[in-house]
């Protein structure tokens, strides 16, 4: 005997399967991103006796919901793919989102832009936009 299922039963079953699927939470993505970033960092040579201080005065972090608040024309353009930027005047611009009633920023973007400020103050700190080039040059010279 063939059994028939109602549309409601099938819809409920489908929704249950979708809700139980392996969707990652944002915290899972952040954890995975930190792990991958740390793995890449650990692949760099460990310096001997590094004890550097780079002082940043009057750093301002602009957390915005829309690129129209970016003060750099290239970043504020509607078709721009820029996710954040830093200025030599110690300003960092990043997007903010809401998590409950708290504001969150993309920690990787904030860290990247902070690296720019460190580089502006001390050129011994690598420009984060040139890391691929530096790695390529080191490989080309067998290091």
Report pLDDT digits (tens) over 5-44.
666 666 665 565 555 555 567 788 888 888 888 898 898 8
pLDDT above 60 (res 54): yes
Longest dimension (CA), the chain: 80
Q: What is the pLDDT of residue 24?
A: 63
141 to 124, 134, 135, 138: CA distances (angstroms): 20, 11, 10, 5
Q: What is the pLDDT of residue 63?
A: 98
The residue extents of the domains of the chain are 55-143
Q: What is the pLDDT of residue 34?
A: 84
pLDDT above 90 (res 62): yes
Contact 88, 119 (CB under 8 A): no
Report pLDDT digits (tens) over 80-124.
999 999 999 999 999 999 989 999 999 999 999 999 999 999 999
Contact 110, 94 (CB under 8 A): yes
Global pTM reads 0.76
């Amino acid at each position: 005997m063939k059994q028939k299922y109602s549309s409601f039963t099938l819809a409920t079953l489908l929704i249950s399967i979708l809700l139980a699927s392996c969707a990652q939470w944002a915290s899972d993505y952040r954890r995975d991103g930190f792990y991958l970033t740390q793995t890449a960092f650990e692949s760099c040579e460990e310096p001997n006796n590094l004890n550097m201080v780079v002082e940043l005065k009057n750093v301002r972090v602009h957390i915005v919901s829309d690129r129209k608040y970016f003060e750099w024309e290239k970043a504020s353009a509607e078709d721009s793919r820029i996710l954040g930027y830093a200025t030599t005047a110690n300003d960092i611009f990043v997007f903010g989102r809401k998590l409950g009633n708290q504001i969150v920023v993309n920690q990787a973007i904030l860290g990247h832009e902070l690296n720019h400020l460190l580089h502006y103050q001390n050129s011994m700190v690598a420009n984060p936009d040139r890391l691929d080039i530096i790695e390529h040059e080191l490989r080309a010279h067998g290091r």
